[in-house]
Every structure is written in C-alpha cells, then in structure tokens.
Chains A and B, each alone.
Chain A
C-alpha cells in the first residue's frame, strides 16, 4: 500500500487542537494567574479554593458520587444482563425497553425526576397512598439527597453497562455452562466460578468507561438539588463563573477536574488498546 495520505486527517486534528487543547491550556493559564496582580504562575486561585468549604465538599462528592453510582450501575447492569440473556417470551421487547432511559435527553430525564422527588411530588404521593410518611428526597446536604442523585443517575445510564455486559454474555458459549451444570454446579456456583470470571474483561471495560464518564457529573446534582445541595466540581466551577463572575476560580476548579479525568483515562486507554 502506498504512503497514507495523512493530510486527510489535518482538518479534524486541527479542530480538536483548537477546541480541546487550546481552551484547556487557556484554562491552565487562567487558573495559575493571580487575578489581582496578573502574576503567573501563582497559586492565588487555589489558595482561594482551599479556603472555600463548598469546594472541599465538591471535591469529596466528585470522588464519592462516581464511585457509588458506578458500583450501583455495575450491579444493576449485570443483573439486567443476566436476566435478559435467559430465554422467555417478551425478552426482545424488554431488551429494547431497558435501553430507553439512556436514549432520552439528559435534561428531560432530570426534569421528570425533579417533579417526582420534590416535597409535593409523585414519590411522596405514592408513599402517602401507602400510609407512609413523606421524605425530604432532595433536601440540600442530606444523605438522602445524595442517594437520590445516585439513583437518578443510575436510572439514566445503567443501560450503557447493560449493553456492554449483554454483548459479553452472548459471547460465552452455552456448552461451558451446561458442562458445569452436568458436573453438579448450582446456579450460584456457575455465576461465581464460570460467568463472572469470563465476564472480567467486559466488567473492567464497563468500570473504566463509566468511571471516567461519571467524573463529569454535572446536570444531575445541579438540576435536582441546586449548586449547594450536592456540589460537584463541575457545578462548583459553573457556580463560580455564572454566579460570581470569577473566571479564575472557575478555571482553577475546572483544571482540577480535568487533571483527575485525564489521570483516570490512562488505564482506560490501555485497556482499549489491548482489545
């Protein structure tokens, strides 16, 4: 084959450089410039963030929320994939239905969920109908609000994990499981000794993909609980920029998030290049 015509890549790579790399470098510059004196490099913005209790809450949530929601999504996605890889009438329709939440626009999902979980919403109406007391699902700073964010995120994105695991399950030959069954292995032993080990690469891929993706969490806590309810780094940066007009502090928070995201992308890229 002749030398590849590499210039065909040039427009795309140029646009990526201009829209991804350049704004990122610009954010780094803003983040490390003292807004008062113009000194560069300076840690003035990070000193300001370090004094802000909301920033520390955002940083903590940005570690704990993705961990919790990815864990929930892996368990639910695996359960759904195992359930829907069995044979029964109506399976095809259910498989499509299960993917529907992911196909909906994020802001539409969040708008619905807000009407469900507000104090006078449908969730409390359902509890009331069952004779149970109403709950404050979204009260800022509460553990329950935090869990509501995880549940809503899981409702929306579990289909991604489900699709990855369903495809992997389809690749496991039926006779391996049948052989194990003939050898006397019960359902639990078959899951634990056969299916899960064979699913390991797919589970790892789903974990890394969703893990890096989950770090971006922004709209879910913002729409459900507001900026201070369940702060994350993205909503904190948005808050600094939109409510205080503080470009430098917003950029400092944005760079913090970008560094975490890039660091966690490394293992993801390594796994991808092995497959």
Chain B
C-alpha cells in the first residue's frame, strides 16, 4: 500500500516536472502578446488566439527561416548518407579498419562546436560561404556534426545482415560491391531510414553553428533565440512550437530503434 502510494506520487511528480514546461510553451504560443506580459502570469490563456502564428507567417523572417532549416537539414541528410554509407559498410565487413576510425569519429562527435565554429567562420568569410543565403557553410558544419551519428547507426545495421548473403551472391557471379549494393543495401533500409531521420533532427535542432555561421540569413534555432531575446514571448513560443513538430514526429518514428538499442552510444 505504501509502495503504491510512493510510486503514484513519484510518477505524478515526474510527469509534472516534464510536461509542465512543454505545456507552458504551447500555452504562450496561443496567448496574445499583451497577456504574456501580465503579472502574475496566467497559467492558461484567457483569450486563446492564432494571432502569433498568423503574424509569424505574414513576416519575412519565419518563412525564410523555415525554408532555410528544411533546406540545410535535407542537404545534410544527403551528404551525410553519401559519405557514411560506403564507410559504414566497409567498417562492418572489415573490422580491422575500425579502431582508429572509431577514435576519430568519437572526437568529431564530442568536439566543442564553438571551438570549430569560430575558425570556420573566419575561414568561410574568406571563401564567401559565411552567412550564405543557401546556408552552404552551415551545411558543411552540420555534415561534420551528423557523420558520427549516421556512421554508428549504419555500421550497427550492416553488422546485423549476415555476410553470407553477400558471399552467396558473389558465388553467383556478382562482384563484392555489386553484392553489397544489390543484396545488403535493400535489407539495410530500416537502418538507412533511422540514420536519415536522426541526421535530419541533428541539423533541425542545431543552435551553436547556426548562431555563428548565419548571422542574418537565420534558420529557425537562431531565429527563435532572437525572437525570445527581443521580447516577443508569443511569437518566440510559436516558433518553438513549430520546431517541436518535426522533432516529435521523428522521435515517435525512431522510438522502436531507440528501444532496441540501435541508436545508443549517441548523445546530444
């Protein structure tokens, strides 16, 4: 009895601590700006409105930012998969090449973003990639950021597909690469999809490089930062709600992969 009470209280407390902040952002997104400045703050909107969203989509910044975020994330998915697919397949089939590569990728994954973003910004100014309207410099940075995530997911995926299938195809006259392309790759599509979704999310969520490399052509994360900093709680919260959309969808799609451990070893 006491145990049930403890579990109930702990569970409810946990749910509140996690869900309350999320609820507040959604509340502010549909609250008129004037009400968001009230003291004491309201916990539920007195006059729910879509004015914040309407104003955002009527502005220049949001449609541009949304387009830029989608563009960079899509480009990053393509470049990252192109780079990691062959490498991950080889690493899965020839374990001896793994060790030094692992170290390089772990370092790439944990390296402080700002320590790279600063010299990148200085270099990009010179080659005209800084603040690029198509965010090409940011695309390069996001590719670096996403490569370790995609590589580890894909290598795990390739390892689960028996090498015997490729060998059988080779006995039937396929080349080693041909066998990989025609036999293994179609079987590996769940990992491929998981890697693509994860990479999209890495780019969609990324703040530090975007803040530094795109000073006026801003994708959504720095745009949200500026809306909040310049005192538009309703519009900032609406941008936050828009950013949550794809993040939530992708997490739901990836949940089975997360539970089966295919994505662990990854972090922020």
A residues engaging B (CB < 8 A)? 1-2, 4-6, 8-9, 11-13, 15-16, 19-20, 23-24, 26-27, 30, 80, 83, 86, 88, 90, 94, 96-109, 111-116, 120-122, 125, 128-129, 155, 157, 160, 163-164, 167, 209-210, 212-213, 215-216, 218-219, 223, 233-235, 237-238, 241-242, 247, 250-251, 254-255, 257-258, 261-262, 265, 268-269, 272-273
By a CB distance below 8 angstroms, the chain A residues around B14 are: 80, 94, 97-98
- Of the candidates B10, B176, B244, the one whose C-beta lies within 8 Å of that of A5 is B176
- Report 13 cross-chain contacts, Cβ distance below 8 Å, ordered by A residue: A5-B177, A16-B144, A27-B119, A111-B224, A122-B24, A164-B264, A213-B267, A213-B268, A216-B111, A241-B118, A247-B122, A250-B118, A258-B111
Q: Is B165 in contact with chain A by the CB < 8 A criterion?
A: no
Are the C-beta atoms of B119 and A254 separated by less than 8 Å? Answer: yes
Are the C-beta atoms of A20 and B119 separated by less than 8 Å? Answer: no
Are the C-beta atoms of A247 and B110 separated by less than 8 Å? Answer: no
Minimum Cβ distance to chain A for residue B84 (Å): 6
Of A23, A122, A251, A272, most B-chain CB atoms within 10 Å: A23
Are the C-beta atoms of B261 and A99 separated by less than 8 Å? Answer: no
Are the C-beta atoms of B111 and A254 separated by less than 8 Å? Answer: no
By a CB distance below 8 angstroms, the chain B residues around A242 are: 212
By a CB distance below 8 angstroms, the chain B residues around A268 are: 106, 110
Known: A23-B116, A107-B243, A234-B115. 5 other contacts (CB 8 A): A26-B119, A83-B10, A105-B204, A111-B228, A238-B212
Are the C-beta atoms of B243 and A4 separated by less than 8 Å? Answer: no
Are the C-beta atoms of B93 and A12 separated by less than 8 Å? Answer: no
By a CB distance below 8 angstroms, the chain B residues around A235 are: 114
Quick one: given A237-B118, A254-B114, are A100 and B208 in contact (CB under 8 Å)? no
Are the C-beta atoms of A12 and B119 separated by less than 8 Å? Answer: no
Q: How many residues of B contact A (CB 8 A)?
A: 87
CA distance A143 to B19 in the complex (A): 27
Are the C-beta atoms of A125 and B41 separated by less than 8 Å? Answer: yes
Are the C-beta atoms of A238 and B82 separated by less than 8 Å? Answer: no
Are the C-beta atoms of B123 and A26 separated by less than 8 Å? Answer: yes
Are the C-beta atoms of B90 and A9 separated by less than 8 Å? Answer: yes
Are the C-beta atoms of A218 and B113 separated by less than 8 Å? Answer: yes
Quick one: given A6-B90, A265-B107, A268-B106, are A223 and B119 in contact (CB under 8 Å)? no
Are the C-beta atoms of B90 and A251 separated by less than 8 Å? Answer: no
